[in-house]
Structure 1
């Protein structure tokens, strides 16, 4: 299969079952450039600290945190970094569909002691990018994510890779993201323009602060792109990155 056909197949599959990887299918396009800008802004915002693990979340479901985290993972890998992307949304996993990989063994298998780390890490079609899928949906996601094995996992992955990215569930719906945010170097909130409720975003921020999460800032997505072709019905992802000092007043 040619590279073009492979990208087209992945684009069709991910948009239908996972999220769109525009940074892979159209790496020189406007939207991909927005993700590169966000990457640069995040790097500059953490210039004085060693940022090895980042969690992406949102206040509510279906606000684009998987699209942002997955495309950011591709963007960082394209820069030459060894990146590992982990699907820690154990209730509504998408990474296995987005990257068209097996979900037979994943994070839940490791956390429950039924698989080794080497068994759950999978390469992707993107050079330098590896993924750990969710694995089978468990009956007790919060208990697994709050176990001591998650600390071991994060330590091993940050030792082995340049950057660990966690695609986590929405903050206001379950406690999973709070459990994880307390264990990573930085957390980023994804906030869709015109969709996210301000009170909901404030509540999510306060809940993250309760566990002393290091909130790096927010990514505003689904920003209307006037005078452009747009994406996902006239909007595009990666509208802007706002550092924590700018979100703290809202």
Structure 2
């Protein structure tokens, strides 16, 4: 797969790339390690991250996790699975294309939609044009076929999906991936909402491998992983 690398301004919040030796970057590497050791029977080559509520800092955490997996030498793909309010393109400006919706509606091929980033080994698949029927596209047979192809191409796949309390999109995708993670924003997400979010994942037969607790949405003052 060959893609032209584009020069872009440095994403100011991509701490794992900007300052890989920082304590925050080390926390992301710790989460990566926990994900890798969450199953002894099957490698967690594809993970889905959703949240109990919006404004949890989920997309930024997905992006930084993707960076540390790529820094490990794994060919990594970050997929913006939020076809309603896509965010990945704001973190990776090079992610401008038809994206996932273009693939699912047969407008572009996988190779045409995926973009290489300035981080070695890291690729992004943006959401693309916001469609009128996100759930139908994500729950389609075409989505299953696309996922199967991507699983053969990449060593690690990370799905950034919408909050599970708001729409069914994460529930539709969690059956595809090796493991799912629930992101909870401390002092923002209620225990009841977090419990309901976890129940929705379990109802969809998701393999829930843990939770990430984010203490601060923008500054990322702290976060930790719990299995």
| Greater shift in the superposed pair: 126-135 or 35-44 | 35-44
Q: How does 1:153-168 map to 2 (within 5 A)?
A: 153-168=146-161
Q: Aligned partners of 1:160 and 1:34: how far apart in 2?
A: 28
In structure 1, the residue matched to 2:77 is 84
In structure 2, the residue matched to 1:97 is 90
Contact 1:10 1:100 in 2 (8 A): no
Q: Does 1:176 align with 2:169?
A: yes
Give the superposition deviation at 1:38: 0.8
| Greater shift in the superposed pair: 45-54 or 178-187 | 45-54
In structure 1, the residue matched to 2:226 is 242
- Count of residue pairs brought into register by the alignment: 221
Give the superposition deviation at 1:68: 1.2
TM-score, reference length from structure 1 = 0.84
Which structure has the larger Rg over C-alpha atoms? Answer: 1
Q: Secondary structure at the match of 2:37?
A: helix
Q: Aligned partners of 1:57 and 1:102: how far apart in 2?
A: 21
TM-score, reference length from structure 2 = 0.93
Q: Does 1:135 align with 2:128?
A: yes
Consecutive unaligned residues in structure 1, runs of 5 or more? 1-5, 13-19, 224-230, 244-250
Which residue of the other structure, out of 6, 31, 38, is the alignment partner of 1:45? Answer: 38
- Provide runs of 4+ in structure 1 moved above 2 Å: none
Identify the structure with the greater helix proportion.
Answer: 1
Give the superposition deviation at 1:67: 1.4
Which residue of the other structure, out of 115, 123, 131, is the alignment partner of 2:116? Answer: 123
Pairwise CA RMSD of aligned residues? 1.6
Consecutive unaligned residues in structure 2, runs of 5 or more? 1-6
Give the superposition deviation at 1:41: 1.2
